[in-house]
Structure 1
Amino acid sequence: MNLVARRRRIARLTVAGQRLGYLLYLTAIALFFTGFATRFHNALVTATIACLVVGSLVLAPAIIFSYAVRAADRDDPLPE
């Protein structure tokens, strides 16, 4: 696999990771307000915390790698 294809693949994965991470954050917010409006059951609290933890584990590397891909494109532009 050449460098251009590898960089594009990583860029696609970072976009997917960011979407998934932000979607998990949004789900955690919705679960929190659902619990706030009703009662905070154990399952609801567990699901909220799980969404926050998994969202953080997915989103942080995706953001870092997206900055890395953009910096690599800026510093070392490759022909398409």
Structure 2
Amino acid sequence: MSTDDLAARRRRIAQMTTIGQRLGYLLYLAAAALFFSGFATSFRGPLVTAVIACLVVGSLVLAPAIIFSYAVRAADREEPLA
């Protein structure tokens, strides 16, 4: 694999991790907003389901994104391509 291919692959993974982190944190923010709106009014079944769904999906998206972003940064430090 040439260094250009490797650099392009790293940049693509870095872009995907950025999108994943933004989406994960956005889902956490939505969960917090839904929780506090439910706290201010009354917790109903669909609202609780939405909060839990945002937390679960946010965790499933955010955890790999964070791990892969650390991996890309470590690879850049270990073997700079550009």
**Shorter-chain-normalised TM-score: which range?**
over 0.9
Q: Does 1:58 align with 2:64?
A: no
**Structure 2 unaligned regions, length at least 5:** none
Q: Which residue of 2 aligns with 1:14?
A: 17
Amino acid corresponding to residue 51 of structure 1 in structure 2: C
Q: Percent identity?
A: 77
**Structure 1 unaligned regions, length at least 5:** none
* 4+ residue runs over 4 A deviation: none
TM-score (norm 1): 0.97
Amino acid corresponding to residue 76 of structure 1 in structure 2: E
Q: Which residue of 2 aligns with 1:46?
A: 49
Structure 2 distance, partners of 1:24, 1:65, is: 19
Amino acid corresponding to residue 16 of structure 1 in structure 2: I
Name the count of aligned residue pairs: 79
TM-score (norm 2): 0.94
